[in-house]
Amino acid sequence: MKRSFYLTVCLVCLPLFAASGCSLRRAAVDTTAAILADADGVARSYFDWESAGSAAGAGIIQFEGLHLSSPDNETLTLMLVKAYMAHAYGWVMDAYEVAQFSGDFQTAEHHKQRAYLMYSRARDLALRCVEHRDPGIRNALSMPPKNLAKYLNDKFTDDDKPALFWLMMAWTSAINNSPHSEDLADMAELRVIADWVIQRDPGYEDAGALVFLGGFESSMPKAFGGDPVKGKEYFERALKITGRKNHIVLINYATLYAVNAPDRALYVSLMREIIEAPDQGAPYRMSNKVARRRAARALQRVDELFYD
């Protein structure tokens, strides 16, 4: 109760601080950001998908306003990155799938473009965080993979992991929804970042870097460095680390590995596991609701995806 009251006071007083000068306004925003970061678990554990989506969209606008007042606050910037990522994946891309499944391709394309813009904004914000830690990163990202790997090992430490991880995730999501096929060339650099994260903590953010590499290896043609055997190994490792509690991992395993393998039995098994699983606890409640909606639609596409 005390935290909720304090947060309300901070938000109400922000306009008053604005009139008092930039430093006071920034101090108020930074205090609010720290409180909001502590409350992150509330969104993850929330029980209602529809109202969470409405709140997520409104929250992005509020975060953008706070970020405008304190653009160098990394905690706040990464919260904004995550807000864009969550809303785009959990609700905008859900609307895309619904429209695509119903044959309304014009509406589907509209939502895909919305997601692309959100992911691109998240990428730019995350890159700013990384650049703040090391101004040379933008040039380093144009290096050959081996040189980039050495650069990351020389310049970054475990403290840099959140910024690099979310840069990788946001950039990958932007590429996957980009209207420009040439953007796929950037995946090589992101693969290096994923390897860097895994070397330090393979379970970071529910083994997100392992899932990224699993998807990359499973869906990329061999000419671009893909290897489905490795892809399956990455996914199985991620499932072991997460205890199969995070169903987003299962969705990616099914849609990126099983479809391309192709392995109809594995695809169906993973989707049914998601739909039939009990509540996996507060940290996974909302993300698993997102996964369950996708799994229910995915099971209706089995004959379309597998021809045997």
pLDDT band at 8 (very low <50, low <70, confident <90, very high): very low
- Flag whether pLDDT at 20 surpasses 60: no
Rounding to the nearest 10 degrees, give the CA dihedral for residues 82, 84, 89, 91.
120
Query: In terms of pLDDT, which residue wins out, 77 or 14?
Result: 77
Name residues whose C-beta falls within 8 Å of residue 273's C-beta, 6 or more positions apart in sequence.
Answer: 244, 247, 250
Residue 38 has pLDDT above 70, yes or no: no
Residue type, 89: Y
Q: Worst-scoring range by mean pLDDT, 52-66, 83-97, 248-262, 270-284?
A: 52-66
Q: How much is the pLDDT for 29? A: 61
Tokens of 176: 């996957």
DSSP 185: G
Mean pLDDT within 70-86: 93
Instruction: Give the pair of three-digit tokens for residue 85.
Output: 């990522």
What are the tens digits of pLDDT across the range 137-177? 999 999 999 999 999 999 999 999 999 999 999 999 999 99
Least confident of 57-61, 161-165, 263-267: 57-61
- For 80-305, CATH number out of 1.25.40.920, 1.10.150.120, 3.40.630.10, 1.10.274.10 equals 1.25.40.920
